[in-house]
Amino acid sequence: MIHYTSATPVGILGLGFLGKILAAELTAFKESWGTWHEIPPPEPKLQVFHFDWADENSWTNLPETAVTLVLTIPPLLKNPQAETERLQFWGTWMQQNRPQLKRLIYISTTGVYPKRNEIWTENSEFEADTDSGKLRLLTENVLCQYFQLQIIRPGGIYGCGRGIDFRLKAGKPIPLSSTPVHRIHVEDLARIVLHLVKHPESTTCVNAVDHEAKPSWKVARWLIENRDDLTQEMFPENTAKLPGTPQRIISNQRLLELAVTLRYPTFRQGMV
Ligand SMILES: NC(=O)c1ccc[n+]([C@@H]2O[C@H](COP(=O)([O-])OP(=O)(O)OC[C@H]3O[C@@H](n4cnc5c(N)ncnc54)[C@H](OP(=O)(O)O)[C@@H]3O)[C@@H](O)[C@H]2O)c1
């Protein structure tokens, strides 16, 4: 548990996979809250209420006292123009009706970076080359017009029931590609979020990826060699010639500079 001062309550928009782990770190702070969308959480760790990002009528549920918002909800509309207008409408509503909620940490994705062999940093100049990446970049760009924004771009989020180990056990396919997958354990991602909550001046954008990116098949092989509960039969595929971009690297230099110590520096610690 990280210790925060009562000056930094948090409002989590979306109590999904990350939101729930984050909420568990905030139990000491009565002013912190989280929102649910489809189903109320059975045993909420903090104050919760319904919020539908798509429904203006539910926005008035947002408390008026200052918190740092953490937005975990993915883009809602696939059409870039419609999503831009939706975000602008929400941003304007927030400025007019919740001026106390100025700070926002947006959970974006490393999927904004092109699928090309290159070392990508937060300062790289690029255009996204997938529809989902374009929507995320657009979201980052619109939100910064309305909020004091900090952006976190996580790689694949794993841990607490998700990851290649769970896929192997469930008999699900393992992606066959030579592209390194950049990962972050969900508990470490929550710690990075809380670091930014506590240090608004620290950075405006940070890649949240651990210290060892590897293609999924290599992680699967390593797991089978190192865990007694996983067997060769779970992943018999031939991995001789795989498509992909083996030199597509997402830098975590800035994360290192923030000095957030990762509890799970690589999948080798996070999946044992
Ligand atoms: N998982 C990964 O590997 C990964 C990697 C990089 C980035 N990301 C992104 O990081 C963020 C957090 O990831 P996650 O795994 O925690 O995602 P998640 O489990 O899917 O959580 C997203 C949350 O958003 C809520 N939500 C969806 N539509 C909503 C709406 N219209 N109004 C209000 N709430 C709504 C969902 O509630 P309901 O379920 O009730 O609809 C859910 O609680 C997401 O944006 C995700 O796309 C994920």
| pLDDT tens per residue, range 238-266 | 888 899 999 999 999 999 999 999 999 99
Q: In the chain, which residues have pLDDT < 70?
A: 1-7
Q: Is 154 in the pocket of ligand 1 (CB under 6 A)?
A: yes
72 burial class (0-12, 13-18, 19+ CB within 10 angstroms)? buried
Q: pLDDT at position 156, please?
A: 98
Name the helix (H) or strand (E) containing 250: strand 248-250
With a 6 Å cutoff on the Cβ, whether 73 touches ligand 1 is: yes
Please tell me the predicted confidence (pLDDT) of residue 7. Answer: 59
Distance 213 CA to ligand 1 centre (A): 23
Segment 129-137 long-range contacts (CB within 8 Å, at least 24 positions apart): 131/78, 132/75, 133/109, 134/80, 135/75, 135/78, 135/80, 135/83, 136/75, 136/108, 136/109, 136/111, 136/112, 137/112
Position 238 scores a pLDDT of 85
Tokens of 221: 């092989």
Distance 115 CA to ligand 1 centre (A): 23
Instruction: Pick the residue whose CA is nearest to atom 25 on ligand 1.
Output: 14
For 84-123, strand residue ranges (E) read: 103-107, 118-120
The pTM of this model reads 0.96
CATH number for region 10-162+185-212+249-264: 3.40.50.720
Is the CB of 51 within 6 Å of ligand 1?
Answer: yes
Nearest Cα to 268, choosing from 180, 164, 161? 164
pLDDT computed for residue 6 by the predictor: 43
Q: Is the CB of 150 under 6 A from ligand 1?
A: no
